[in-house]
Amino acid sequence: MMLPSSDFFMDFQQDLLDLSNLFNFSDVSSFTQNIPIEWVESALRLSASATIRRRRLPSDQVLWLVLGMAMFRNEPVHEVARRLNVCAQGLASDNLLARSGVTNARKRLGSEPVEWLFRQTGTHWGHERYPEDEWNGLRVMAVDGALFRTQDTPELREHFGSGNTSSKRQTPFPMLRLVALMNVRSHIMIDAQISPYRRGEIPLAESFLSSIPDNSVTLFDKGFWSANLMLTLTQQDVDRHWMIPERKGLVHEVIKTYSDGDELIQMKVSPQARKKNPDLPETWQVRRVTYQIKSGTKSVMTSLPVERFSAAQVSELYKERWEIELGFRDIKSAMQNNAITLRSKKTDLVYQELWGLLLCYNIIRREASMAAVSFDRVPSEIRFKPVCDYIAVQLIVMAAANPISGTGRRLSELRSGIGSLFLERRPRPTTPRTVKISKTRYPVDRYAAPLK
């Protein structure tokens, strides 16, 4: 989002500070259970460049800067640092930071502490219980993938790759792949994997199957169809189920018909899958539910047993898979202002930026969920963008009120005003899908002059 002018912020900060009896910015007790300072300290110990030098940008402030980058996408990084006042006490806090100093500070921090802190939030917050967060006794999860673009530099194109095909057509930007596991009811990202474009979604999803809780059902997009993935999910732990749309042209045999549109089918496991995992059976059986939609019929495959869950329940539940799509929309639209090209130009900083984006998303979602609960509402009833905008302004207020506060302290001061946002149940608007950038048959020359 584009930040308003400095004069606007001075006036707006004063207005908010005058309302301190309503928005208690100095109360640190309300948020300490969210980001314990111990988490921050543990994350920073992972930084590869430990130092005793008194730097202008200490590591805990750089971590705060990475979160600020996620909130203020249209601002240059050094300007975000200045607005959030992340300099150490007494170290040129009134002067502009050199751009190279900000970049070097980010390099010293690296991506690993930010990734670790994101996983901590997913582990602890993603399994929290909220009102109406279960479906017939099961937690509802979703897995899906998204693509992000990077700056077009030789280093990033070499590492992340692009959408090349056999005809040497390629995307104008290097691409990286994100696959995430979301709690559908709270929208918290429980786990995620980031990789270069060429790595497939299924191997990435297989890496975090252990993060899926017992007594749950996980909703997949059809691109995740894999006997190994589905069978591994159901064989691990207790009462874990899945649901996925039927693939076009799937060869199967009907074993049993439960009712109209509700069948048990049998399929062969491919030789490639059995070569990868010799423990897989030669055939496997799944339940297929077919139901009416506006454009005709739709079939979903599931491990949910017919004795416990009707076909109507199954078909209604799969509609919630779109909640993870809304989560990706919130990240790309509300937080990134539709700027899907990440700003970093070094490989490790690209990972740092995207992990910081996911971490910041979880913080906002957790705050929205807690605010909703305080009003006896469910997390889905508070809209993401107003909360995101509120926190963005509050960061500026906190920087002015307490400029030397570290990451742990600042994160402890975010929630107080969110609960006062007006909660209103509204139908979700429908928006057209984004048109993908077309590939070109010619090699990409990043130095070519733009067409006029």
Dump the DSSP string for 240-282.
EEEEEEPPTT---EEEEEEETTEEEEEEEPPHHHHHH-TTS-S
Phi, psi (degrees; rounded to nearest 5) at 139: -75, 145
- Report the distance separating Cα 429 and Cα 443, nearest Å: 39
Give DSSP secondary structure letters for 89-119. Answer: TTSSTTSPPPHHHHHHHHHHH-SHHHHHHHH
The CA distances from residue 20 to 14, 23, 150, 415, 416, in Å, are 10, 5, 41, 13, 10
Q: What is the pTM of this model?
A: 0.79
Locate 197 and state its tokens: 């474009």
3-state secondary structure of 146: strand
pLDDT-wise least confident of 10-24, 202-216, 260-274, 388-402: 10-24
Quick one: pLDDT band at residue 364, thresholds 50, 70, 90?
confident
Report the alpha-carbon distance of residue 125 to residue 31 in Å, rounded: 13
With a CB cutoff of 8 Å and minimum separation 6, the contacts of 244 are 219, 220, 221, 222, 224, 225, 230, 300, 301, 302
The pLDDT of residue 306 is above 90? yes
Q: Which of 12-26, 217-231, 409-423 has the highest mean pLDDT?
A: 217-231
Cα–Cα distance for residue pair 101/7, rounded to 1 Å: 27
CA distance 16 to 134: 38
Are the C-beta atoms of residues 171 and 185 closer than 8 Å to each other? no
| Residue whose entry in the numeric block shows the structure tokens 């006062």 | 420
Q: What is the pLDDT of residues 22-45, one digit of tens each?
A: 233 233 333 334 555 555 666 666
Q: Which of 437, 426, 436 is nearest to 380 (CA)?
A: 426
Mean pLDDT over each residue of the chain, to the nearest integer: 77
pLDDT digits (tens, 9 = 90+) for 91-140: 344 444 566 778 888 888 888 888 988 998 898 888 888 877 889 999 99
Per-residue pLDDT, 404: 47
Q: Count other C-beta atoms under 10 Å from residue 321's C-beta.
A: 22
State how far the Cα of 238 lies from the Cα of 214, in Å rounded to an integer: 5
Q: How far is it, in rounded angstroms, from Cα 343 to Cα 350? A: 8
Which among 103, 104, 85, 84 is positioned nearest to 94, based on CA atoms? 85
* Percentage, residues of the chain above pLDDT 90: 38
